[in-house]
Every structure is written in C-alpha cells, then in structure tokens.
Amino acid sequence: MDIATIIGLVAGVALVFITIMMGANPAIFVNIPSFILVVGGTLAATLINFPLGDVLSVFNTVKNTFVQKVASTENLIEQLVEFATVARREGILALEGHASEANDEFLQKSVQLAIDGTAPELIKDILTTEIAFMEDRHAMGQSILNAMGAFAPAFGMIGTLIGLIQMLATLDDPSKIGGGMAVALITTLYGAIMANLIFLPLAGKLRVRTTMELLQKEIIIEGILSIQSGDNPRVVEQKLKAFVSPAMRERINVGR
Amino acid sequence: MDIATIIGLVAGVALVFITIMMGANPAIFVNIPSFILVVGGTLAATLINFPLGDVLSVFNTVKNTFVQKVASTENLIEQLVEFATVARREGILALEGHASEANDEFLQKSVQLAIDGTAPELIKDILTTEIAFMEDRHAMGQSILNAMGAFAPAFGMIGTLIGLIQMLATLDDPSKIGGGMAVALITTLYGAIMANLIFLPLAGKLRVRTTMELLQKEIIIEGILSIQSGDNPRVVEQKLKAFVSPAMRERINVGR
Amino acid sequence: MDIATIIGLVAGVALVFITIMMGANPAIFVNIPSFILVVGGTLAATLINFPLGDVLSVFNTVKNTFVQKVASTENLIEQLVEFATVARREGILALEGHASEANDEFLQKSVQLAIDGTAPELIKDILTTEIAFMEDRHAMGQSILNAMGAFAPAFGMIGTLIGLIQMLATLDDPSKIGGGMAVALITTLYGAIMANLIFLPLAGKLRVRTTMELLQKEIIIEGILSIQSGDNPRVVEQKLKAFVSPAMRERINVGR
Amino acid sequence: MDIATIIGLVAGVALVFITIMMGANPAIFVNIPSFILVVGGTLAATLINFPLGDVLSVFNTVKNTFVQKVASTENLIEQLVEFATVARREGILALEGHASEANDEFLQKSVQLAIDGTAPELIKDILTTEIAFMEDRHAMGQSILNAMGAFAPAFGMIGTLIGLIQMLATLDDPSKIGGGMAVALITTLYGAIMANLIFLPLAGKLRVRTTMELLQKEIIIEGILSIQSGDNPRVVEQKLKAFVSPAMRERINVGR
Amino acid sequence: MDIATIIGLVAGVALVFITIMMGANPAIFVNIPSFILVVGGTLAATLINFPLGDVLSVFNTVKNTFVQKVASTENLIEQLVEFATVARREGILALEGHASEANDEFLQKSVQLAIDGTAPELIKDILTTEIAFMEDRHAMGQSILNAMGAFAPAFGMIGTLIGLIQMLATLDDPSKIGGGMAVALITTLYGAIMANLIFLPLAGKLRVRTTMELLQKEIIIEGILSIQSGDNPRVVEQKLKAFVSPAMRERINVGR
C-alpha cells in the first residue's frame, strides 16, 4: 500500500514538474507569496474548523500511512494458527515467549491479556474499545483531509480574485494584462494540485487503510478468543479464513 | 479549541490582508456598498430561511464558541471520582458544598438533583431531555451557518453580475473596462472569503464541539447515577474512563 | 416567523434595488423578455416535473407561510391545561363551549372528537393520519421549491447562452459587444436572484415550519388523550412541558 | 398529470423558440452536427452505463407517462366499494361480469384471482411481487433519465471545447472570433436545454408517478383482500379511505 | 449487455472523432504530452487513493465486463429445473456428469458441494461468503472508477491552468494568444471525454452488472438447496421464478 502511495505521489509531482519544465518559462510557476496564501489559508480555515490537537495529529496519521507497513493478513493468520498450536500443545502460558515475536503491538497486547487469564468478555471489551477509538481517530483524520481538499481550491480562487482585481484596477498598459493574469492564476493552480494530488487521495487512502486495519484487528480478537477457549488449531484456522477472500485463503500456508 | 479558532481566524485574515497590501493599490479592496450587498443579502436570505429567534441566537452560539472554554474531560472525570469519594465517605448530602465548586452548570444541576434524592430514572430523564435540546439548538446553528456559507458566494456572484452588466452597458471607453471589472469582482471575493474563512469552518467547529459537549454531559450523567447508587469510587472511575481514549486515560490523575 | 420572512424578503429586494439604482444606468436591468424566459422556463420545467395540482397548491402553501401566524406553543399548552381543568371540574362535555374559542382548527376538531366520546385509539388514528397528510403536502412543497431553485439558474444560463450566441454571431462592430453581453447576462442575474432570495430560502422556511407545526399537533394529540383519560391538570401540564425546551417551560404560565 | 407534462414541455419549448426568433439571426441556432454530437454522445454514454434493454424500455416508460392517463383514485375506491356491494349481495362469482368493466389491468387480474378462489396469502404474494417489479422498472427508468441529465451538459461542454480549440487554433482573422465562438457555444445550449427541459424533469415526474401508481395498487390489493374475506361494503370503504387525504375522502361518492 | 457497452463506446468515440475531423485542423487535437499529463495524473491520484492491487484488478474487472457474457437468467433457471428433474429421477449423484456441462463456475461448484453431501447450512455459508467477496471486489472497482471520473477532469483543468499561465506569461505577440489557448484547452477536453465516455459510465455498468450477477448467484443457491432437499422439479421452478419479472417468467421454457 505504501508503495502505491509513494509511486503515485512521485509520479504525479514528476508529471506536473515535467509539464512545467517543457514550457518556455518555468520560473513563473514558483511564487512564494501565492504558495503561502493557499497553504496558509487552507490551514487557517482547517484550524477554525477542527480542534488544534486533531489537526496536528493528522500529520502524524498521514506520516504513518507512508512509514508503517500494513502487515500481511496472510502472515497474521498463519501466526495466530501457530500460536493456537503452541497453546494447544504446551498450554497458553507457553505463548509468553512468542508474544514478543509478534511485530504488531495490538497482537502483543491481546496475547498478553490471554496469558494473564483475563476473562474473555473483558478481553473483547478492552480490545473493541481500542478499535473504536482507532476508528474515530481515523474518521477525524479523513474529515480533516477532506475539508483541506475543499478549502485549498477555495483559497486558490480567493488568491486569483485578489490578483485579478489588482491587475484590472491598475490596468493602464494592456500589454501587461497577460503577465498579471498569469500570476493571478497560479494560486488556483496550487489549490487544484494540492486538493487532487494530496488531500483528497490521502483522505481516500486513509479510509481504505482503516477498513484493512479494522479487519486485521477483528481477526486478532477472534483468534485470541478462540485460542483462549482452547480451540483446535484447525478450528482456529477455519474461523479466521472466513474473514478473507477465497483467493487469499489459498495463499495462507499454515505450517502443519 | 478556542485557541485554534482564534489562531485560524487571525492568521487567515492576516494572510488575505498582507496579500492585498503587497499589491499596488490596496484601497480598491475596500468597497462599502459591495460589503453591504454581500453581508445584507446573505442575512436577508438567512432570515427568509430560518426563524428570527434562531438566527439571532446563532450569533450567541458562535460567541460562546470563542469565549467559553471547553472544560477538560480529564478534570471532569477527576472531579466526579472525587465527588464519589466524598459521597462514599460522608454520604451524598456532603456533596452540597462541593456542587458549587463545579464550574459547569450542568454538573451543578446534576449534583443538586442527586442531593435532593430525586429518583434515578427521573434524573436521567431530566438531564437527557436537556441534552437533546442542546443538540437541537446546535444542529439549528450548524444549519444556519452552512446556509450562510452557501448564500454568501451566491450574493457575491449576484453583486458581480450587477457590476458587470452596469459596466458593459455603459462601455464607451474600452480603457475603463479594467476598473469596472475590478469593482465588480470585489463582491465575489467578499462572498468567497466570508464562506471559506467564517461560515463554513465555524459550522464545522460547532459540529465538533457539539460532539465533545455531548460526551462530557453523558459522562456527567453516568457519573452522577453511579455516585447516587453508592458505587465504589474505583468503580466510578472505571465506568467513566471507558468513555475516553486510552491516551487520555493515562493523563487522568485521580488523587487517591 | 412571518416577520423574519417579510423582513428578509423586503431587505433583500431593497439591497439589490439600491445597488442597481446607484449605478449609472438602472433601466438596463428591466428586461421583460428575459424575465419571461427565466420565470416561464422555470415554471415549465416544474410542471413537467410535478403534477399540476401540487404545483398550484405550492403557491397557496407559500402564501400561508406569510399570512398564517404560527400559534405560540406556550399559549397552546396553557390552553390545553385550562381545558384539562375545566374537564376535570365540570366533565368533558363542558369543553363544548370552549372548543370554539380555540383559534386552531386542528385543536377544535380534536376537542370535538373527545366530546363525542370517540375511542382514544380512533382519535389517535384519525389525528395522526391528518398529520401525515399535512407532512406529505409540505414535503411536496419543499421538493417543488427546491426544484425551482435549481431550474431558475439553469434557465438563467440558457438565456445567457442564447443572448451570447446571438451577439457573437452578428458581431461586426466590436463596440457593440458590451451592450449585447450586458443584455445576455441579465437572465443569469434574474435566475440567481430568484433562486437565492426566493425559492431556496422559502423551501428552507417550509421545512422549519413543518417541524414546528408537527410538534404543536403532537402536543395537541397528547393533551387531548390525556384530558380524555381524566388526567389531573398538573399531570397534563407535566406531560406537555416535556415537549418543549427548558427555556420555554419557564415562560408557560398556567393560571392555577 | 399528463396535461401538466404536455403544457410544461410545449410552453418551455415555445419560450426558448420565441426568445430565439426575437433575435436577429435565428438560423444560427440550428446546427445539425452539434445536435448529433450532444444527443449521440449522451446516448453513447447511457448505453455504456446501462443494459441495452433497459435503455430501450425507458422510451416506452416515458411515452406511457404521456399517453396513459393515471386513473382517478376516487373512481378506483368507488369501483372497489361497488364490487364489495355486488360480492356481498350476489356472491363473489358475480364479479365475473364486472371485472371486465375495470379499465385497469391490475384490477382485472386481482378480481380474477379472487373469483378463482386463490388463497388470500397467495393473492397478496402474486400482486406484491408484480408491484415490486414495476417499482424496479421505474427506478431503473429514473436512474437512466438522471444519468442522461448529467451526460447531456457534459457532452455539450465537450462540443464547445472542440469548437473553441478549432476556432482558436486557426485564428488569423480576429473578426471571425465571434462567429466561431457562437457555433462552439451551441452544443452547451443544446445540452442545457435537454437536461433542464427534458431529462431531469421527466425523471422527477417518473418518481412522482411511481408513488401514485404504488398507492393505487396498494389500494387494489387491500380492497380485493377485504372483499374476498366477505367484509361489509361500509368496512371496505373505511379501509380504503384511510389511504387518501381528508380532502379526497370528501370527493369520494359511494353510490349507496 | 456487452453489446451495449461496445456500441456505446464505439459510437461515442466515433462521434467525437468525426466532429473533430469535420473541423479545419484535426491535427491540433493530438497532443501526446497533454494526454500523458491527464492519464498519468489521474492514475497517480488513483494510486495514492487506493491500494496498488485493487487498482490493477480494476482493469481486469473492466475487461471482464466486455469479454464475459452475462449468462441468460432464463437459461439458468431452465438448467436448474432440469438438474432437479435428474436428481429426482436418478438421485443427486447423477448430477455428477451434468455439473461439468454448466458453463458457470459458481454453478459447477454449487452442484459439486451438493453431490459431496455437504450440509445445507455449510453450502449456504460457503456460497454466501463467496458472493459477499464478489460484491466487495465490484464495490471497490466502482469506487476506483468513480474516483478516476473525478480526477480526470481535475487534471484536465490543472493542465489547462499550466498552459494558460505559460501562454499569458510569455505573451508579447497577441496574435499567438489563440494557438496557446487552444493547446491549453486540450487537457480539459481530454479529461471531460475520459470521465464522461469511459470512467463514469463504466462505473455505472459495473453497478448494474453486480446487481444482475448477485441475482443469478442467489437463484443458484436457492436452486441447489431446493434440489438437495429433494424438492419436486415443479416446486423448484416456482421458487426460482419468484426471483424474476413476470415478463421473463413467460420466456422460461422448462422442457417437461
């Protein structure tokens, strides 16, 4: 998933950059005040619209979208079935050592709860609450990115209107009309690029990713509860495979 | 939250102001009749659309968004747990003195109801009804601000059309076309700024804030009912922490 | 509510009128054929979209929005509590004389049904059906006004396109381009004013008003059923006050 | 209803036609290639979007909207009450002769089912299924007309872009710019007229009409089941009148 | 269905092509860098928005829309009734040979499950899960195509803004303004054609097709379960015909 995001971002920026460089006068497209107006205006409107803490944490959430690799669901199921085999053979306490192997923090916490002998209903409650807050946090992130995707073109237009009015009001030499209008249009261009290459697609990615993480966390909860109740590894495997597509099921290779 | 709203508003206005001042002719952007048309037209359409009382109270609601500080949810939970400790040790009547300490009117009222020995179902009914009306009032406020965010650009466009028609109809000297068009475009600029820097983000903030206040009021109801039923302070704490995110739970410092 | 609608409409029209009169050439804004095209086109599309009877009755519904005063909910509750007192003291038949005092037709009918000794379930059925049809009628009215708010700018644009094409096709003297374009833009102006100052805000008002009337009619049903079942006036009062906001409750002054 | 559709369509087309004829050069508005591009492009996109059979049947559905008169709901109820009277007096088999009088195919079929002694549950099943498919068919018709209402302006804009590019690319004589632009704008005009005078209002009418036909068919089902169960004609009348507005109830004149 | 898609696509492209060829200068409409910017930008934004795997599989899904013929629902029901007859006469194992005749993979799998004596609940579970994943896959495909239908015009506009700014900034010879603007507008044209002739209608077709395939798969599940439970072929027929329209029912010709 990360790769697609990065390929898309790099390719999109490169395409726009090359298109601009092919023209006669690329320097005209760099206009710091225009950039500040669009970025600053978008941020200002976003700060009025959302609490400061949530706006700050959206940058973190977006960064995670790039850096954190989504664990493979196939591996996750294989690992849970392996845990089931260990728990079945050596007792649930034997998972103590394996829990730290898991590279998913949520999985570690879930295994620890099971080892501690927490009641199944409580495990489910604790983990479900955590998922609900993750979902809320991501939903807020999507709202913020979508709002930025609406504010960016709006401030682009505001910048263009300011530029046009300045240019038209001081129009005494018609030959200068072109240059003034070119400058005025740059904010609209900035707003359109930010919205369509950054804010809106990132909001979409966050939504897709939330769906995927939710599925994995639900698989973990189901798996841990099944292991704790002493289910046969084969039963655990069947229960977890029901969460994934037939095609993915065939890729899952349980080492038994 | 207030800080974000104020930072955003100040920063947004400053950005637009600086962008205008950097141009050759800032005076052209001040046009009182244009301002009156856009603000007046937006207000007129809003008054046709909504009852007078609701339109007037939206200004109050918005003012509160700036002035009233949203109480910290952490403090609220700490306070409720403290109340539970007092009630457990000295009986519920001992809360009499503490109720007035609470800086939240809703919390004061809730404590008073519990002290008066009101039946739990009735307490829940009374407080839930109050919350429902707060929610309705805020929902009406959001509708009004969203409608203003749609009417402002519309009257901006109406002003520009009037200006364009006047300018085009009396066009005998082509050199004056620029000045006329500049003036005509000012209403569109006013409408776009009002919608994107004031009405739409404030409507969004009201929605976020409603969600937060609802959560706090639900915590208060749960807490008071739990205290009244004589729950152990530790149980009260656990019940209330279930309403907040894991991160916030760690920041709650119950003085026990 | 009527006052807000009328203030808004008068103020909006006055603002547009004054803005036009301040210009050099106000006569250009009066263009009968343009007006006929926009109004006629909007009506034509509305007639294709909705049954004739419903389109005709929307004018009636809108007229009522201005003429009929929404009864005060406070008065309504006071009156119902008074009826309860009378019925309790002198028997339900004693309401015979008071029913005609009520200036609300729905209230009169409800009281009459109770006096006639109609079974409570039947009263509820009859009155609820009547409310449902009022709601349907208003919902249809909103649909029609919203559709007109979408068709008016569309026919404004159609008129401008026709004007532009005519002007451009016969363009031999560039000095006439301004006048032709001014005339062409007038239909767009008409469409924008009609949509934003008449159709869309009126649709909104109808929605707000429907909500209010529904609440009052629900209060009447609850009150009449409570009176018929012989409830104590104090109980009737409590039941009805639950429908209104805490602020309004304090304004209700039951004469007991 | 048909009359409103036809009045609207004739009036709308006449208004546009007259507006064009009042201009200096009406011939410019007739442009066969532009017409083919907009109509053809809209149809092409519609065919990609929907199955061929459904697109073809939408024309049939629209034709029916004009030709088929919606039966009067008042008459329908009067007729069903009359059937109830006959069935009560002479037995349900006596409806044999009356069924053919009914000018509604669905009513005829319903009566025939009752005469054949079909079990009530089966009658309800058969008729409800038929209604469900009618609803699906109409919903598909609305989707198609709404899609055409979105594609028509899009292909209008595509035509204008093609015209503008051709005109601008070959621009050596500035005096010809007007004529070229006039021709380019014609496709946008065609698209706007088609969408706002034909596709969108017809989609709306289909929706209104579906609602009305559904109501009538539900009245028929209720009536037939009531007659079959041997209900008193007065009971049948009461049951059916509950489906219609109080105003309409007074217009129903049962000949008893 | 395929035929409509192909007719629509060919007709739409041909119409645009002919309209362009009729103009004076068709070569201007071929602009490789403009094409790369719009297609590449749309793909880049889509890759940021969706996981790589899903974007790749949308091309496959679209290809299937053209290549795979939707089986006739009439034939499917006839075949299932035939299977019921065989199973009734010779036992369910006799379907072994007939299963391979079925040209629908899902039908083959369903028959095989019945032959293997799988419990009815398990058959239902397995097949329903498979349908759910098909639905998810198609829903993702629709989301991606709809997003592409929104990104394509956006990148068309971005390209036009870049072209306009370049042209205006280097404007020294007014006679060249036409050519520059023509080139700038080409990306907008490309974006509009892609969205309205490819992405949006294909997303629509995918939705229609999903509905149809779901219906067929539900018919298969119902049929197989009915056959397995030993239902009389006439009963199977009745059960399956309830899924289709009255018109289609008459076209079903069960060979009995």
What's the gap between Cα C164 and its chain centre?
A: 37
Query: Confidence band (pLDDT; 50, 70, 90) for D255?
Result: low
Residues whose CB falls within 8 Å of the CB of residue C253, separated by 6 or more in sequence, listed in order:
C74, C78
Q: Which token pair is D205?
A: 């009418």
Our CA-based measurement puts residue E27 at a distance from the nearest CA of chain A, in whole angstroms, of 20
Tokens of A188: 């609209």
Rounded CA-CA distance E81/E102 in Å is: 13
Q: Give the closest residue to D133 by CA, choosing from D46, D217, D49, D48.
A: D217
HSE-up (13 A, CA, CB side) for residue B229: 12
Q: Is any Cβ of chain A less than 8 angstroms from the Cβ of E32?
A: no
Q: Residue E165 is which amino acid?
A: I
| pLDDT tier at C173, thresholds 50, 70, 90 | low
Tokens of B153: 């650009």
Closest-CA residue in chain E for A176?
E171
Q: Which distant-in-sequence residues (6+ apart) come within 8 Å of E110 by Cβ?
A: E123, E127, E220, E221, E224
Q: Between chain D and chain E, how many beta carbons pairs sit less than 8 Å apart?
A: 130
Residue closest to B239 by CA, chosen among B108, B77, B96, B88: B77
Indicate the range of B106-115, D187-196, E190-199 predicted with least confidence: B106-115
> Predicted confidence band at E25 (pLDDT cuts at 50, 70, 90)?
confident
- The closest alpha carbon to A92, from A228, A232, A235, belongs to A228
**Interface with chain A: mutation pick from E158, E164, E176, E177, highest number of A CBs within 10 Å:** E158
- pLDDT tens-digit series, residues A185-243: 999 999 999 999 999 999 999 998 888 888 899 999 999 999 999 888 998 998 888 88
- Cα dihedral C134, C139, C142, C144 in deg (nearest 10): -100
Q: Is D161 on the interface with C (CB under 8 A)?
A: no
- Which of B47, B157, B170 faces C8 most closely, judged by CB atoms? B47
The pLDDT value given to residue A174? 64
For residue B174, what pLDDT is reported?
A: 64
pLDDT of residue B212: 86
Minimal CA–CA distance to C213: which of C142, C132, C155? C132
Phi/psi for C25 (5° steps) reads -135, 70
Q: Are residues E48 and A178, on separate chains, in Cβ contact within 8 Å?
A: no
Do the chains contact at C48 and D8, CB–CB below 8 Å?
yes
How far, CA to CA in Å, does B190 sit from each of B151, B198, B203? Answer: 12, 11, 18
Q: Do C192 and B158 touch (CB under 8 A)?
A: yes
Angstrom distance (rounded) from CA C49 to CA D1: 10
Contact predicate D224/D110, CB 8 Å: yes
pLDDT digits (tens, 9 = 90+) for C79-92: 999 999 999 898 88
Give the mean pLDDT of chain D. 88
CA separation, residue D72 to residues C45, D67, D251 (Å):
24, 15, 11
Q: Quick one: pLDDT band at residue C178, thresholds 50, 70, 90?
A: confident
pLDDT tens for C113-145 read 898 888 999 889 888 888 888 888 888 999 999
Structure tokens that stand for E108 in this block: 């083959």
Give the model confidence (pLDDT) of A3-32 as tens digits. 888 899 999 999 999 999 988 778 889 999
DSSP chain E: -HHHHHHHHHHHHHHHHHHHHHSS-GGGG--HHHHHHHHHHHHHHHHHHS-HHHHHHHHHHHHHHHHSPPPPHHHHHHHHHHHHHHHHHH-GGGHHHHHTT-S-HHHHHHHHHHHTT--HHHHHHHHHHHHHHHHHHHHHHHHHHHHHHHHHHHHHHHHHHHHHHHHHHT---GGGHHHHHHHHHHHHHHHHHIIIIIIHHHHHHHHHHHHHHHHHHHHHHHHHHHHHTT--HHHHHHHHHTTS-HHHHHH-----
Residue of D nearest to E243 (CA): D129
| D52 shares contact with chain E (CB less than 8 Å) | yes
Give every CB contact of residue C39 below 8 A, 6+ residues apart in sequence.
C190, C194
Of E168, E183, E173, which Cα lies nearest the Cα of A19?
A: E183
Chain C CB contacts of B188 under 8 Å are: none
CA gap D124, D118 in Å, rounded: 10
Whether residue D29 contacts residue C165, with contact meaning beta carbons closer than 8 Å, is answered with yes
Q: Is the pLDDT of residue A1 over 60?
A: no
Q: Which of chain B's residues have a Cβ under 8 Å away from the Cβ of C186?
A: 165
Structure tokens at B238: 């656990």
Mean pLDDT of chain B: 88
Query: Region C44-67: what's the mean pLDDT?
Result: 87
A169 band by pLDDT with thresholds 50, 70 and 90? confident
Instruction: Round to whole Å and give the CA distance between D96 and D98.
Output: 6
pLDDT band at A256 (very low <50, low <70, confident <90, very high): low
Nearest by Cα to D130 from D58, D208, D217: D217
CB contact under 8 A, B161 and C189: yes
**pLDDT tier at D256, thresholds 50, 70, 90:** low
Alpha carbon of residue A248 to chain centroid: 23
Short-list D23, D33, C66, CA closest to E16: D33
| Best mutation target, D13, D15, D240, to test chain C (most C CBs within 10 A) | D15
Q: Mean pLDDT, to the nearest integer, of A109-114?
A: 89
**Which residue shows structure tokens 């008042």?**
D74
Tell me if D158 and E189 make a contact (CB, 8 A cut-off). yes
- Of B44, B160, B148, residue with least CA distance to C19: B160
Confidence of residue E1 (pLDDT cuts 50, 70, 90): very low
Nearest CA in chain E to A242: E129
Q: pLDDT tens digits, residue range D26-45?
A: 888 999 999 999 999 999 99
Neighbours of D59 (CB within 10 A): 11
Residue B208 touches partner A, C-beta closer than 8 Å = yes
Q: What average pLDDT does range C53-66 have in this prediction?
A: 84
User: CB distance B29–A165 less than 8 Å?
Assistant: yes
Q: What residues of chain A lie within 8 A of the CB of E187, using their CB?
A: none
The share of chain C scoring above pLDDT 70, in percent, equals 96
To probe the interface with C, which of B48, B52, B172, B177 has the most C CB atoms within 10 Å? Answer: B48
**Candidate ranges A174-178, B119-123, E122-126, E186-190; pick with highest mean pLDDT:** E186-190
Q: How many whole angstroms separate alpha carbon C69 and alpha carbon C5? A: 12
pTM of the model: 0.90
Separation CA E56–CA E63 (nearest Å): 12
Residue A255 confidence class, pLDDT cut points 50, 70, 90: low
Band of residue B225 on the pLDDT scale cut at 50, 70, 90 = very high
Q: How much of chain B is in helix, strand and coil states, percent to nearest 5? A: 85, 0, 15
pLDDT tens digits along D58-83: 988 888 777 776 778 888 999 999 99
- Taking residues A82-103, report their average pLDDT: 85
Quick check: C256 pLDDT over 60? no
Task: Name every chain B residue with its beta carbon within 8 A of the beta carbon of A124.
Answer: none
Quick one: tokens of E33?
A: 């860098």
CA dist C139 and C61 (Å) reads 11
Up-side HSE of residue D161: CA atoms within 13 Å toward CB? 25
Position B173 scores a pLDDT of: 67
Tens digits of residue pLDDT in B173-184: 666 777 788 889
Distance CA C251, CA C149 (A): 38
Give residue B249's Cα distance to chain centre. Answer: 25
Q: Whole-angstrom Cα distance, residue E256 to residue E252?
A: 12
b/e burial code for range A48-87 (CB count within 10 A of at least 16 → b)? bbbbeebbeebeebbeebeeeeebebeebbbbbbbbbbbb
Q: How many angstroms from the chain centroid is the CA of residue D50? A: 18
Size of the B and C interface in Cβ pairs below 8 Å: 128
D202 touches chain C (CB under 8 A): yes
Task: State residue C160's pLDDT score.
Answer: 96
Band (C245; pLDDT cuts 50, 70, 90): confident
| B182 contacts B28 by C-beta, under 8 angstroms | yes
B1 band by pLDDT with thresholds 50, 70 and 90: very low
C158 CB neighbours in chain D (<8 A) are 16, 189, 192-193, 196
Give the closest of C47, C54, C170 to D7, CB-based: C47
D77 burial (CB, 10 Å; 0-12 / 13-18 / 19+) is buried
- Tell me how far the alpha carbon of residue A125 is from its chain's centroid: 25
Q: Give mean pLDDT, residues D114-139.
A: 87
Q: Does B195 touch chain A (CB under 8 A)?
A: yes
Contact A1, E52 (CB under 8 A): yes
CB D131 within 8 A of CB D241: no
pLDDT band at E162 (very low <50, low <70, confident <90, very high): very high
Closest CB to E47: pick one of A4, A192, A246. Answer: A4
Q: How far apart are CA E26 and CA E17, in angstroms?
A: 9
> CB of B145 within 8 A of CB of B200?
yes
- Does D241 reach chain C within 8 Å, measured CB to CB? no
Q: Which helix (H) or strand (E) holds D29?
A: none
Residue C1 scores a pLDDT above 60 = no
- Between A46 and E104, whose confidence is greater? A46
Q: Over the Cα atoms of chain E, what is R_g?
A: 26
Task: Count Cα atoms within 13 angstroms, Cβ side, for E61.
Answer: 26
- Determine whether the interchain pair A11/E157 forms a contact, defined as Cβ–Cβ distance below 8 Å: no
CB atoms within 10 A of CB D66: 14
> D87-120: per-residue pLDDT in tens?
989 888 888 878 777 778 889 889 988 988 889 9
Say whether residue B171 is in contact with chain C using an 8 A CB cutoff. Answer: yes
Interchain pair E161, A192: CB under 8 A: yes
Q: What's the residue count for chain D?
A: 256
**Is it the case that residue B38 has pLDDT exceeding 90?**
yes
Q: Find the range with the poorest average confidence among A199-213, B19-33, D242-256.
A: D242-256
How far is Cα E88 from Cα A33, in angstroms, rounded to an integer?
81
- Mutation choice for C interface testing from B35, B37, B39, B47 by most C CBs within 10 A: B47
How does the average pLDDT of chain A come out, rounded? Answer: 88
Residue B13 near chain C (CB below 8 Å): no
Name the residue with higher pLDDT: B104 or A191.
A191
Closest C-alpha to E9, from D156, D45, D150: D45
- pLDDT score at B175: 67
